[in-house]
Amino acid sequence: MYLFGYGSLINLLSAQKSFKRVLTQKDLVPTKIKGYERVWNAIESIQFENEVVNGIFLNIKENENSVLNGVMIEISEEELEILKLREKNYSCIVIESKSVVGNKPNSDLIAFMTTNEKKLAKVGDINSFIPSKYIEVVKSALKDYEDDFKKEFEKTFENYPFPLKDGFYTFTDPIQNRVAREGIKN
């Protein structure tokens, strides 16, 4: 089974926090899928010092005219269950292998996509911010990819639909925070 990562999971150090096995950059296989685009609209409750806000994170949505780049990571059932804790407000969806552009995997892909309307941010929502640290995590990963991958991905960082918020943040859900920020223990 394969996971399609399109945000912080393209970052080896970030992805590693949700895996017991040691990942290498080779485990994050650059790929493209047809029919989806990357958007800033997934809401997660996060805390900056003493302030709880709606953190806005990357999400995907269907768009038949779009091709989206990201990475494929081969995963086990156990790893999927851990990733579900990390991506708790996202729905686990199946992307058919026929949607993969280029080398087809031997199975469909799993991806995390926020589908719950209550967890989808709308431009103008109050108390909603994109964490600058999250942007740094995603941007810093681009150094490990080819120029074409970088060029396509950099469009993600143009014209943010929400204000940015600087500083360290944690997820308010302790289990999600442990899996996403602190990492799992072997």
* pLDDT, tens digit, 9 for 90 and up, residues 161-171: 999 999 999 99
For residue 186, pLDDT beyond 80: no
Within 8 A by CB and 6+ apart from 13, the residues are none
Res 173: pLDDT:
87
Res 185: pLDDT:
61
Helices (H), 34-177: 77-86, 132-141, 147-153, 174-177
Q: What is the pTM of this model?
A: 0.94
d(CA 158, CA 155): 6
Confidence of residue 70 (pLDDT cuts 50, 70, 90): very high
Amino acid at 86: R
Asked whether 7 and 137 are in contact (CB, 8 A), the reply is no
Q: Which two structure tokens, joined as six digits, stand for 17? A: 């926090």
